[in-house]
Each structure stands twice: as structure tokens, then as C-alpha cells.
């Protein structure tokens, strides 16, 4: 006759044991344990447990407690963890491609058109370094030549093929200095995408470059020889990536 097995004790461990063990758990295990029941959630969400984790992993965010003591440290840790995950995630591929776009640059002086460039994306050579910058060429034949110092109006537009949508990248109106054999640079901050685009900056700049050459037959006047465009990141002050530029444009065109 087999011996009767000893009765099993199904009572939960004393709270003293739970609290003692909780101090040795990592943040992920603490988060899982807080989902067991309401009592465990209250216990595992204690500031005494999460304050050291915040100080270790996200010390800059720990200062939030001093500004708003109502924010628990477990919430602060969750915010820091989510932000760090976002930084490591690769952004989604843009829905637009260069072939979907048409670049139009128009340069005028007073009431005279200097040059107009209209270039479909499939005729533009992509940048070998994968940056959002392009050489558009010289454009149409100039109808007028600019003086060395002149008033100029420059408009750069990006359109979807068949003119399904249009976005103005740059609209410059002012004085400019033109030197034969040199280059003229023009830049304008781009709006932030979204309904509140006037309330925040995008951190991006539309960049346009004109190359000039002299025309001896016109008494030393100069003309536009080349047009280049791109998008710059103000944070790094270098050209945005191709995907980054396309992702920005799809907010206005797609």
C-alpha cells in the first residue's frame, strides 16, 4: 500500500518574500510580474523598485519626478524604453519613388524669365551616395541674362506625375549677387508635416544651387548654366538621405 503523499500547500508566498525577491528582478521581469494580479501590480510598480532602474538606464528622464512627483518611476521607465526602441527601429520604406516625381525650377529677374528646368524623376541620375540631391541641368535657353547684382525670383516645385499633387519646396524673392564662374546658393526652411505645420519646424531645409557663366556678347552679363537641388538636415547640416527626402515629400504629395 503506497504512502499517502503529503498535502501540498497552495497558499501564496508571504508578501515579505515577494518584496524581497522583487528587488533582484530586472525591469522586464518586474513588468511581467506586475500583470499577475492587482496586488502584484501594486507591489511591482513601487517607486522603490523602479527608481534605481530609471537612474541606471535613463538618468536624464529621472528628473521628471522632481518636476511632477505624480508620475511614477515605472511610467518614466516605460517612456524611456519606448523612446529607445523607436531610435533603433528602421523607418518604413517610402511609398513614393523618384520616378513618381517631377522637379520644376523657375528663375526670373524682374518680369523676364531667366531659365526654367522641368525634369521628370526617371531622367535624373540618383546620387551615388544615396542622398536627396540632384543635378537638373541647365534648363531651357535663357531669354534674358542677369546683371551681376539683380533682383531674382526663384520657385522650386515638386509635382506628382500627371500633376496629381504639387508641393512648393522654395519661393525666394529678393536680391542676389551673381559672379561668373561661381555658384549661387539659396535655402529655405521647409514646413513640418501635419495639420499644425506652422507651429513647429521640420528640421529640414530646401537647398538650391545655381551655376553661372559669363556671356561676352551681352556686355559682361551672366546666365544660369546649371541647377542643383536637395534637402538638408539642419541637425547635421548635410543632405538628407534619398528615403528621408521621399518620406518627407509623401506627407504632402501621397
pTM of the model: 0.62
Instruction: Provide the terminal-to-terminal Cα distance of the chain, rounded to the nearest Å.
Output: 80
Please check the confidence at residue 67 and state whether its pLDDT lies above 90: no
Closest listed residue to residue 141, CA positions, set 45, 56, 215: 215
Give the pLDDT score at 217. 46
Alpha helix positions (H), 68-136: 73-88
* Average pLDDT value for residue range 135-151: 65
DSSP 166-206: EEEEEEEEEEEE--TTSEEEEEEEEEPSSTTTTSSEEEEEE
Domain boundaries, the chain: 15-88, 98-253
Express each pLDDT in 218-252 by its tens digit.
555 667 788 999 999 887 778 999 999 999 999 99
Cα separation, 181 vs 183, in Å, equals 7
Cα separation, 200 vs 198, in Å, equals 6
Give the pLDDT score at 143. 45
Q: How many CA atoms lie within 13 A of 24 on its CB side?
A: 4
* Higher pLDDT among residues 87 and 218, named by residue: 87
* Average pLDDT value for residue range 49-55: 86
Give the pLDDT score at 8. 55
Express each pLDDT in 31-50 by its tens digit.
888 888 887 788 788 888 88
Amino acid at each position: 500500500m503506497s504512502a499517502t503523499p503529503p498535502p501540498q500547500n497552495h497558499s501564496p508566498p508571504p508578501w515579505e518574500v515577494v518584496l524581497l525577491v522583487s528587488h533582484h528582478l530586472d525591469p522586464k521581469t518586474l513588468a511581467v510580474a506586475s500583470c499577475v494580479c492587482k496586488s502584484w501590480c501594486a507591489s511591482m510598480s513601487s517607486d522603490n523598485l523602479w527608481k534605481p532602474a530609471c537612474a541606471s538606464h535613463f538618468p536624464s528622464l529621472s528628473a521628471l519626478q522632481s518636476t511632477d512627483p505624480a508620475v511614477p518611476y515605472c511610467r518614466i521607465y516605460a517612456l524611456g524604453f519606448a523612446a529607445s526602441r523607436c531610435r533603433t527601429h528602421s523607418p518604413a520604406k517610402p511609398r513614393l519613388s523618384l520616378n513618381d516625381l517631377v522637379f520644376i525650377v523657375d528663375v526670373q529677374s524682374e518680369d523676364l524669365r531667366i531659365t526654367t528646368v522641368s525634369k521628370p524623376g526617371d531622367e535624373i541620375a540618383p546620387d551615388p551616395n544615396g542622398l536627396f540631391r540632384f543635378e537638373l541641368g541647365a534648363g531651357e535657353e535663357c531669354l534674358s541674362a542677369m546683371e551681376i547684382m539683380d533682383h531674382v525670383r526663384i520657385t522650386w516645385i515638386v509635382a506628382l506625375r500627371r500633376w496629381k499633387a504639387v508641393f512648393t519646396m522654395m519661393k525666394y524673392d529678393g536680391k542676389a549677387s551673381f559672379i561668373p564662374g561661381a555658384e549661387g546658393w539659396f535655402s529655405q526652411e521647409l514646413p513640418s508635416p501635419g495639420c499644425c505645420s506652422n507651429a513647429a519646424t521640420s528640421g529640414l531645409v530646401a537647398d538650391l544651387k545655381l551655376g553661372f557663366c559669363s556671356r561676352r556678347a551681352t556686355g559682361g552679363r551672366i546666365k544660369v548654366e546649371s541647377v542643383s537641388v536637395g534637402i538638408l538636415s539642419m541637425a547635421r547640416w548635410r543632405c538628407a538621405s534619398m528615403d528621408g527626402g521621399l518620406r518627407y515629400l509623401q506627407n504632402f504629395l501621397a
